[in-house]
Amino acid sequence: MSDLPRLWSFAASPFAGKARVAFAEKGIEYELLEVHPAKRPPRLKELNPLGRVPVLEVEGALPMRESSVICDYLEETCPEPALWPADPAARAWARAWAKYVDDGIAVNFFLGMRKLAFGRDADDPEDITERLHVIVPRQYPRLEDALGVHDGPWLCGEQFTYADVAGMAAAVRIPQWAPQLAPDPAERPRVAAWMDALRARPSAAAIEAKGTPVEA
């Protein structure tokens, strides 16, 4: 293993994408490995018993799994630029909205796309993708309100945080894969502007990043 951190990833995973964006925002050099979800190598299962990405390997440390855990590790080991607010109350606000975006938007949108691409589970209804995707725009009214609490383009106002990082994959992929789910600028102007601003950040390119393929 090289001295660089090694991130096990899948390009279409929103949570691996979140980790890649965090690395880009921090300006940290790392090694990126690409895993196909239908051909997961045994080494991935050794690192994460669930066999999921992202997983971060760092020389001399135990493997780290889950995107939020990886982001916290990067924040603690590379505190600049800060992606959590310094104020505890503001940090709690950001953490809550990061989870809201993860659970309400990313999970439902990307799980629907995964089932469309790789097939439904045996007990899924035929319209499982539609059922998951209809949940996504239902999150926009609360997000619209949250974006109006602080003066600035981001969920914490002028400071870009992990709450915004959580939305990057959806902001990039919804227009590409399911534009009918994009927020209507007339109805949800703050959410639409937020997603536009996310796509405009240089780190948005990390959502498209593919690593060195690892064969099963």
Q: Which tens digits make up the pLDDT trace of 18-71? A: 999 999 999 999 999 999 988 899 999 999 999 999 999 999 999 999 999 999
Per-residue confidence (pLDDT) for residue 215, from 0 to 100: 87
Question: Residue 27 CB: number of other CB atoms within 10 A?
Answer: 10
The HSE-up count of residue 51 (CA atoms within 13 Å, CB side) is 8
Mean pLDDT to the nearest integer, 168-180 = 98
Which CATH number applies to 88-204: 1.20.1050.10, 3.30.70.360, 3.30.43.10, 3.40.50.2300?
Answer: 1.20.1050.10
Beta bridge partners of 34: 9, 213
Instruction: Say yes or no to pLDDT of 216 above 90.
Output: no
Task: Give the percent of the chain with pLDDT over 70.
Answer: 99
Alpha carbons 15 and 11: distance in angstroms, whole number: 10
What CATH class has 6-82+205-213?
Answer: alpha beta
> Mean of the per-residue pLDDT values for the chain?
96
Per-residue confidence (pLDDT) for residue 8, from 0 to 100: 98
Alpha carbons 10 and 116: distance in angstroms, whole number: 17
Going from N- to C-terminal start, the domains of the chain cover 6-82+205-213, 88-204
